[in-house]
C-alpha cells in the first residue's frame, strides 16, 4: 500500500520527477497538436524516458557469419521515448543512436534496413493479464506499427498480432516519419495515431506500450531484434486507475521483490527440464520458451503470473513445423502431425488452449517472489546461448 501511495504521489507530482520516481512510466505531454516532425513543437517540452532494449532471438539463421554478428556485435541498446497527446491523437517519438544508416534495399538480399516498432494491447486494465511483449499471445492480441528505413513509405505497416507467426495486416491509421541525423548518428522516429479507433482505445490514464528496434547493419530482421519490456504511458487528462498502477508497478519501481539467490535455487530445481537459461542448457531447444534475456524484456508481474497461472498467457510455438511425428497419421495433404513434445499448449475441455507447464500456485508467495527476482537478473547482453 505504501508503494502504491508513493507511486500516486509521483503520478500527480511534477513531470521531471518521473525519471527517479517511476522508471517504467512515460509521462505524456498534452498539446493542442501532435507534431509529425521530430524534435519540434511539443516534442521539445515532453519528458523523455530512457528505455533499455535487450536482444530477442527467435531463430538461428542458416548463416554462420550473420549468427556470429548477432551474437557478438550488439549488447543492450537504449532509446529515448517521448509521448505527446491531444484531444484526439497520441504521438510517440523514439530516438536512438546508430553509427550507420542502413536502408532496406529491394535489389539486395543481403541488405537489411534499420527499423522500429511500437505496440499496444487491444485489452488492458485491471482484470486483464499483460500480453507477451513480443507480439502478444493467443488470448491477448496487440496492434503493432512498424517503420522501416526505406525511401518507399509503403514499407511502414500496421498489424494485429497474437503471437509468433500471426501478423494480420490492417488498414494503417498512423502517420509515421523516420529521420536519420547523420551528424549526431541518431535516428528519430515519430508515430502519430488516433487515441481511439475500432482497433484500439487509448483513452485511459495508463496505457501499456511495447517497443522493438532492428539494427539492419548486423542483419537483424523479423523475430531477431532488440525488445523492451512493457512501459506505461501516463495520460494526465484521462482517469488513472490506482489499482492498475500498483499492479503494473510491482517489481518495476525499484523496490526489491525477493531474494535472487534463493530464486536461482528454485529455478535450477524446478525449471531446467524444459527451459534454457543462463548456464542451464540441458533442455531440448524449442521444447518450451527459452528464458535467455527474459529479465531484460519481461516485467515482473508478467513473470509472476506465468509461474502461478501459466495458462493465462499462451505463447504460440516459434515454429512447430520444425518438429514432426513420422509415426503419426498424415493429413489429407500428406503432412505428418507436429511432434507433441514441441507444442507449448493443448486444447482444454472447453476448447481453450491450456499451457503444458503445470501451475505453480502451490509455491509460497515468498518463493514466487524470489523466483521472479532471479528471473529478472537473467539479462545476457550478447545472447550467445542459442535461439530463444
Residues 44, 132, single domain; the answer is yes
Is pTM beyond 0.85? Reply is yes
Residues 139, 12, single domain; the answer is yes
Q: Which three-class secondary structure state does DSSP give residue 264?
A: helix
Residues 344, 298, single domain; the answer is yes
Is 386 contained in some domain?
no
Is 329 contained in some domain?
yes
Is 214 contained in some domain?
yes
22, 253 Cβ separation under 8 angstroms: yes
104, 149 Cβ separation under 8 angstroms: yes
Residue the block writes with cell 482497433: 199
- The angle that helices 365-375 and 260-270 make with each other, rounded to 10 degrees, is 90
Residues 149, 292, single domain; the answer is no
286, 47 Cβ separation under 8 angstroms: no
Which among 249, 270, 286 is the end of a domain? 249
pLDDT digits (tens, 9 = 90+) for 245-290: 999 999 998 889 999 999 999 999 999 999 999 999 999 888 898 8
103-109, long-range: CB < 8 A, 24+ apart: 103/149, 103/150, 103/151, 103/216, 104/148, 104/149, 104/150, 104/155, 104/216
Residues 272, 328, single domain; the answer is yes
Q: How far is CA 50 from CA 19, 115, 295, 352, in A?
A: 8, 18, 17, 38
Residue 273 structural domain: 260-375
**Into how many domains does the chain fold?**
2
Is 28 contained in some domain?
yes
Is 280 contained in some domain?
yes
Residues 155, 41, single domain; the answer is yes
- The angle that helices 365-375 and 300-308 make with each other, rounded to 10 degrees, is 130
Is 76 contained in some domain?
yes
Residues 289, 313, single domain; the answer is yes
Per-residue tens of pLDDT for the chain, all 388 residues: 334 434 444 444 444 333 345 899 999 999 999 999 999 999 999 999 999 999 888 777 777 887 887 777 778 999 999 999 999 999 999 999 999 999 887 656 677 899 999 999 999 999 999 999 999 998 999 999 999 998 776 578 999 999 888 889 999 899 999 999 999 999 999 999 999 999 999 999 999 999 999 999 888 888 889 999 999 999 999 999 999 999 999 999 888 999 999 999 999 999 999 999 999 999 988 889 889 899 999 999 999 999 999 999 988 776 655 667 788 888 888 887 777 778 888 888 888 889 999 999 899 999 999 999 999 999 865 444 433 3
Residues 137, 164, single domain; the answer is yes
DSSP per-residue string spanning 284-337? PTTSS---TTHHHHS-HHHHHHHHH-GGGS-PPPS-GGGSB-TTSPP-TTSPPP
Is 327 contained in some domain?
yes
282, 272 Cβ separation under 8 angstroms: yes
Copy the grid coordinates of residue 101: 544508416
Which among 229, 249, 269 is the end of a domain? 249
Residues 88, 230, single domain; the answer is yes
Is 385 contained in some domain?
no
Which among 223, 249, 275 is the end of a domain? 249
Residues 312, 338, single domain; the answer is yes
CATH number of domain containing 29: 2.60.40.1190
Residues 160, 45, single domain; the answer is yes
Least Cα distance to 229 among 244, 250, 260 occurs for 250
Distance between CA 304 and CA 246 in Å, rounded?
A: 14
Rg (CA), the chain: 21
Residues 211, 270, single domain; the answer is no
pLDDT digits (tens, 9 = 90+) for 123-149: 999 999 999 999 999 899 999 999 999
Amino acid at each position: 500500500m505504501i508503494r502504491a501511495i508513493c507511486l500516486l504521489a509521483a503520478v500527480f507530482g511534477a513531470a521531471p520527477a518521473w525519471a527517479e520516481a517511476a522508471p517504467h512510466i512515460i509521462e505524456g505531454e498534452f498539446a493542442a497538436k501532435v507534431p509529425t516532425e521530430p524534435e519540434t513543437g511539443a516534442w521539445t517540452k515532453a519528458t523523455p524516458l530512457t528505455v533499455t532494449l535487450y536482444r530477442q532471438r527467435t531463430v538461428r539463421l542458416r548463416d554462420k557469419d550473420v549468427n556470429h554478428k548477432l551474437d557478438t556485435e550488439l549488447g543492450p541498446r537504449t532509446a529515448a521515448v517521448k509521448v505527446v497527446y491531444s484531444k484526439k491523437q497520441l504521438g510517440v517519438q523514439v530516438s536512438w543512436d546508430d553509427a550507420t544508416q542502413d536502408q532496406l534495399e529491394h535489389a539486395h538480399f543481403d541488405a537489411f534496413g534499420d527499423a522500429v516498432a511500437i505496440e499496444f494491447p487491444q485489452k488492458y486494465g485491471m482484470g486483464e493479464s499483460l500480453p507477451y511483449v513480443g507480439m502478444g499471445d493467443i488470448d491477448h492480441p496487440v496492434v503493432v506499427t512498424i517503420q522501416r528505413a526505406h525511401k518507399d513509405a509503403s514499407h511502414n505497416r500496421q498489424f494485429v498480432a497474437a503471437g509468433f507467426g500471426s501478423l494480420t495486416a490492417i488498414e494503417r491509421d498512423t502517420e509515421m516519419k523516420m529521420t536519420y541525423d547523420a551528424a549526431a548518428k541518431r535516428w528519430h522516429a515519430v508515430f502519430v495515431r488516433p487515441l481511439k479507433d475500432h482497433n484500439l482505445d487509448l483513452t485511459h490514464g495508463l496505457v501499456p506500450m511495447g517497443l522493438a528496434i532492428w539494427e539492419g547493419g548486423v542483419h537483424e530482421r523479423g523475430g531477431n531484434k532488440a525488445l523492451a519490456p512493457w512501459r506505461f504511458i501516463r495520460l494526465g487528462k484521462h482517469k488513472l486507475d490506482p489499482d492498475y498502477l500498483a499492479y503494473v508497478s510491482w517489481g518495476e519501481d525499484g523496490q526489491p521483490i525477493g531474494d535472487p539467490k534463493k530464486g536461482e535455487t528454485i529455478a535450477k530445481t524446478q525449471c531446467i527440464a524444459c527451459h534454457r537459461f543462463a548456464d542451464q542448457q540441458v533442455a531440448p531447444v524449442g521444447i518450451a520458451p527459452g528464458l535467455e534475456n527474459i529479465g531484460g524484456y519481461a516485467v515482473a508481474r508478467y513473470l509472476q503470473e506465468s509461474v502461478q497461472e501459466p495458462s493465462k498467457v499462451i505463447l504460440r510455438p516459434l515454429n512447430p513445423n520444425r518438429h514432426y511425428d513420422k509415426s503419426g497419421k498424415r493429413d489429407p495433404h500428406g503432412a505428418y502431425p507436429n511432434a507433441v513434445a514441441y507444442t507449448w499448449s493443448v486444447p482444454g475441455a472447453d476448447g481453450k488452449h491450456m499451457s503444458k507447464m503445470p501451475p505453480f500456485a502451490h509455491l509460497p508467495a515468498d518463493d514466487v517472489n524470489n523466483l521472479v527476482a532471479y528471473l529478472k537478473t537473467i539479462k545476457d547482453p550478447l545472447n550467445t546461448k542459442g535461439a530463444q
